[in-house]
Structure 1
């Protein structure tokens, strides 16, 4: 499928105008009877689940695919950084879920409460039993705001404590940037895997940009307190980002984890993960990223998750390590790559191929190379386009993508949202591998 920038931007504009008018084109289900039988059950209606539903609904036929998803609103979460940075609005990130699911699929507007993988059954909170031949788990990642003492209370009551990791709080971020006067502006990274590992520092760079624009930068002490030992997991991009923070005068504190917020006294408590020592720091503004985990309902089933608590799949095939009729993709899995929408795009195409093969009685093929991408916005109008896989950089364009680029910024800001709505969640976009080979004259990976 050929998708041009002009077509995508035109589609995005039309989509934003029309999405609220869409009438559901597939069936929704509440509890009519306790048992339902499906060829394919997809648990999770986020990026991965919606993409897989669109790939299989027409192939398998009406009433053969069910999507278990309680939320009526689907968010394009990679845009939350731009919302927090005052570049996009929250409404631009949202679409009704029923405008994205395919015709012929059943929407089970409920949560999964239990899995019986031995007997091929998913039970919902309402008590419905969904029997399946094949199961795709795409439940995303769980935000654990309550694991940082005082964080939820601070987010609810302190206008200068914010987080881009929840649509309920994302608008607070730009408000806090505008209200900032002087003192410490702290940006945190928790001691857990998270979705989009670059996002905690992207909003920091946008805050730096706005502080400079408003003439407040000399009054701001910007701190990046991260639990990680490095600024980014891929050395090529880490080296570039260390130069960015140096040029901007940002202080980086590695192996430093937020454990408590005392918003009444405007204090944050951090633990040094190497020594165990605690330090209390005053803040004027604090952007907090909560610890994250695989959803609790999955962790209750040790046959589905590994010893670290994530869905246990083969990293190259996306097939479950124990149950051959179960596949998983996205943030809930134990695949050793960053948890991003870009990763889901590549994974969705590979899952489609391998699930089709298994349905045809064939073996799954090891195809996934760990591809993911993190567009690292370093200022308004600048972006480092990090693309990498299990073994290091996997860059699409025949340039050094570790350099700040205005082109890459506009790809992130203008092109990728349209590609997401028109391509990825509709089941048409499987990542840039074909284009990567084309741009590298067939010599790329």
Structure 2
């Protein structure tokens, strides 16, 4: 092939054929743009044929047809949009390569704003990011909005515990990002690297720069497996597992099914973590299965949590303590996992007992580990970060305290609510309303009350439905006569198993805000 590099991010070439894909990949290129209209000459491969071959080799593709000798401003704008959306470096081709070079040069002369500017840029295509984008676009379908997300796969993370408990299949918790991104949004396949809030710009890891009118930050948090020496290498073998990873939740299920007695350890790090009840849920589901199979009596189950209490909201603790007693679990508060050796099946804990700090080594036959969780590195190192490393925001409006056109939601926001999908569901419409108000030069109009929900699965078939807001205030969705969230409930289990997954896929991620109406800020305040 005759590939000519115009810039580090863009090369051009004559007509590309399906057989060229391996060479294109080997050249380090990540995307292809076809600038030829289909049927331009006899024997020309159709754009769809090249697109299929590109996809089979892991390349992204866009068709921006340009008529030879008639390159215009509309073509340049279309080329600019494609270059902004596709992972770089990009190969553009036409019959000879000259037309691609011409339209690319014209696109560059339009200036940065025409190439990269969107009214709203959303960083992160997870639960919070897609929900916020969908809510924005339902209110204002014509707003120009881009979602920056490097992953091709989206996971329903609240379902991982159910996978580990043998209730859901792993496949039921995953979808492609492409099918979830709202039709009106531009999906930019890339990762954010740094922010320049003074210039209203985001730079991506591949060097692309996006300008925005309003920025919504929602890339989630980082599971810090390396914070516990030995853990990353031990996972997935020798009885070491975690429901916090898609590929390991089925291993949890296998370990629990094959367990016939011995020592089973379950751990929880300090806050913040995704769903504070998830470490316990894995343990309760395992114990309930062992109880039913008659092997619980031969099990020594330990729960080591770095927190000083079993659960952060006192109203739910008595119900959980009853299951700790029922399953004969040895509870260790303020006990933090500090290292693990999978080959010797030993775990080292640091335990606080009053003013004394001691280290205790425990042997295990299986261990379910939850890693410490921190802000993503590019967030913690950015001018958007609070002292915690997460994005600084006003807890009610979710707006940055220093930048009136920047909002954050989901796990990355430095709020004191529980980090759950239910919290993101409530935050999304708040951010949607306030982001659109900021775009119009107005003050925030909606408030988030700190709502979060943690369905604590205490046995297969019963759940303690913890729902609470800022300060641990109980915020039940249903009347107490229907669901008393402080007690195990069969109806709460049906809600978790049958209703919440479709609510997630078909309502939350589509901008349908069932039971998620935001509080309105009183303009007289």
Normalized against structure 1, the TM-score is what?
0.88
SS at match of 1:41: strand
2:429/2:517 contact within 8 Å kept: no
Question: Which residue number in structure 1 is paired with residue 388 of structure 2?
Answer: 308
Alpha-carbon distance in 2 for matches of 1:214, 1:156: 24
Alpha-carbon distance in 1 for matches of 2:486, 2:151: 37
Matches within 5 A, 1:86-97: 86-97=166-177
How far the C-alpha of 1:430 sits from its partner, in A, is 5.7
Out of 459, 478, 490, the position equivalent to 1:406 is 490
Alpha-carbon distance in 2 for matches of 1:405, 1:55: 32
> C-alpha offsets along residues 5-30 of structure 1, whole Å, 9 cap, x if unaligned?
xxxxxxxxxxxxxxxxxxx9x98523
Stretch moving more, 33-42 or 72-81: 33-42
- Is 1:43 equivalent to 2:158 in the alignment? no
Alpha-carbon distance in 2 for matches of 1:430, 1:259: 42
2:136/2:436 contact within 8 Å kept: no
Matches within 5 A, 1:98-109: 98-109=178-189
SS at match of 1:425: helix
- Is 1:85 equivalent to 2:165 in the alignment? yes
- Is 1:375 equivalent to 2:455 in the alignment? yes
Alpha-carbon distance in 1 for matches of 2:447, 2:183: 29
Question: Which residue number in structure 1 is paired with residue 362 of structure 2?
Answer: 281
Question: Which residue number in structure 2 is paired with residue 21 of structure 1?
Answer: none
How far the C-alpha of 1:332 sits from its partner, in A, is 0.5
> C-alpha offsets along residues 142-186 of structure 1, whole Å, 9 cap, x if unaligned?
00111111111111432x110000112111101111222322111
2:164/2:243 contact within 8 Å kept: yes
Question: Which residue number in structure 2 is paired with residue 394 of structure 1?
Answer: 475
1:57/1:64 contact within 8 Å kept: no
Question: Which residue number in structure 1 is paired with residue 233 of structure 2?
Answer: 153
Question: Which residue number in structure 2 is paired with residue 30 of structure 1?
Answer: 87
How far the C-alpha of 1:366 sits from its partner, in A, is 5.9
Stretch moving more, 259-268 or 361-370: 361-370
SS at match of 1:277: strand
SS at match of 1:364: coil
SS at match of 1:271: strand
How far the C-alpha of 1:255 sits from its partner, in A, is 0.3
Alpha-carbon distance in 1 for matches of 2:116, 2:332: 53
How far the C-alpha of 1:369 sits from its partner, in A, is 1.0
How far the C-alpha of 1:134 sits from its partner, in A, is 0.6
Out of 205, 209, 213, the position equivalent to 1:133 is 213
How far the C-alpha of 1:188 sits from its partner, in A, is 0.4
Stretch moving more, 398-407 or 280-289: 398-407
Normalized against structure 2, the TM-score is what?
0.75
> C-alpha offsets along residues 165-211 of structure 1, whole Å, 9 cap, x if unaligned?
01121111011112223221111001341001100000100000111
Alpha-carbon distance in 2 for matches of 1:430, 1:135: 25
Question: Which residue number in structure 1 is paired with residue 145 of structure 2?
Answer: 65
Question: Which residue number in structure 2 is paired with residue 181 of structure 1?
Answer: 260
SS at match of 1:369: coil
SS at match of 2:116: strand
Alpha-carbon distance in 1 for matches of 2:133, 2:444: 19
Aligned residues: 410
- Is 1:421 equivalent to 2:500 in the alignment? no
Question: Which residue number in structure 1 is paired with residue 312 of structure 2?
Answer: 233
Alpha-carbon distance in 1 for matches of 2:513, 2:438: 22
Stretch moving more, 256-265 or 63-72: 63-72
Question: Which residue number in structure 2 is paired with residue 16 of structure 1?
Answer: none
Q: Which protein has the larger Cα radius of gyration, Structure 1 or Structure 2?
A: 2
Distance 1:376-1:47 versus aligned 2 partners, 3 A rule: same
Question: Which residue number in structure 2 is paired with residue 328 of structure 1?
Answer: 408
Question: Which residue number in structure 1 is paired with residue 380 of structure 2?
Answer: 299
Q: Where do 5+ consecutive residues of structure 2 fail to align?
A: 1-61, 63-80, 91-107, 520-525
Alpha-carbon distance in 1 for matches of 2:123, 2:453: 24
Alpha-carbon distance in 2 for matches of 1:387, 1:76: 20
Distance 1:43-1:220 versus aligned 2 partners, 3 A rule: same
Out of 323, 335, 345, the position equivalent to 2:425 is 345
Alpha-carbon distance in 2 for matches of 1:157, 1:79: 22
Alpha-carbon distance in 2 for matches of 1:363, 1:239: 43
How far the C-alpha of 1:105 sits from its partner, in A, is 1.4
- Return the structure number with greater relative CO, CA threshold 8 A, min gap 6: 1
Distance 1:237-1:432 versus aligned 2 partners, 3 A rule: farther
> C-alpha offsets along residues 267-289 of structure 1, whole Å, 9 cap, x if unaligned?
10000145331100010110000
How far the C-alpha of 1:248 sits from its partner, in A, is 2.1
